[in-house]
Structure 1
Amino acid sequence: MFGKKRETHFIVLNDLDDGREAVRRALETAAAEDVPGLQRALRILDGASVAEDPKIRWTRQVLEKAGIDPLEREVQAVREVRKELPGLPLVAAVEMVRALNPEARRKR
């Protein structure tokens, strides 16, 4: 009852910087016909770094894998998220699931 609370922290590893740098180096010595493709790859990597919050992306992937629609079955969605990440506080799981619903974000 009075024991220590265990907190779960989300750690996001992002190695896109290494990939971007590798493409930039390749661009320096690329043949003319390879330049457009490498430039496109660089734009894709740049876009991925500002894309969706990794927590939200992870939540979406977990629920898609489980076949749970977070809009129709929020309670089951929260349960599934917590099952995949034991120790995740209920409030955090609810926030992650609700973040998938644009309507829920507007109501906050």
Structure 2
Amino acid sequence: MIFKSKPQPDLGVVVLRDADRIAEALTAALAQASDAERPGLERAVALVAETERVSEAESRGRWVWERLAAAGYEGPADSVRAIKVLRQAEPSLTLAAAVRLSKDAVRLDAP
């Protein structure tokens, strides 16, 4: 008998990256900013540049921690209870997707 492995399930989470558009808008605003507005806009440009360097796995891990925290869960992200809480918070997630996402969260330090 030959067994084929199943394809990886869709995670059900899409990581959106609009940081480039936001950076362009902030840079344009900075070019026209008054002296009073300049420090805040400079800080905003730096924050956007920082988020551009975050990997998709890290973004997914943060997303998991946010969902768990919103549900009041404070334990390890890879526990059975965490997977259950995550799936209750996001009912569209399959069990396999929730497990994979929890692994991304475990790679991060808990918030």
Q: TM-score, normalised by structure 2?
A: 0.67
1:14 to 3, 11, 17: 17
Deviates more, 1:31-40 or 1:60-69: 31-40
Aligned length: 98
Task: Name the CA distance, whole Å, in 2 between partners of 1:96 and 1:8.
Answer: 7
2:87–2:93 contact (8 Å) kept in structure 1: yes
User: Following the alignment from structure 1 to structure 2, what is the Cα–Cα distance between the partners of residues 23 and 72?
Assistant: 35
Amino acid at match of 1:39: E
- Hey, what's the Cα distance between the residues in 2 that align with 1:70 and 1:23? 38
Residue 32 of structure 1: how far off its partner (Å): 3.9
Q: Which segments of 5 or more consecutive residues in structure 2 lack a partner in the other structure?
A: 1-8
Higher relative contact order (CA 8 A, sep 6+): 2
Q: Structure 1 residue 68 and structure 2 residue 68: aligned?
A: no
Relative to the length of structure 1, the TM-score reads 0.68
Q: CA separation of 1:18/1:93 partners in 2, compared to 1, >3 Å: closer, same or farther?
A: same
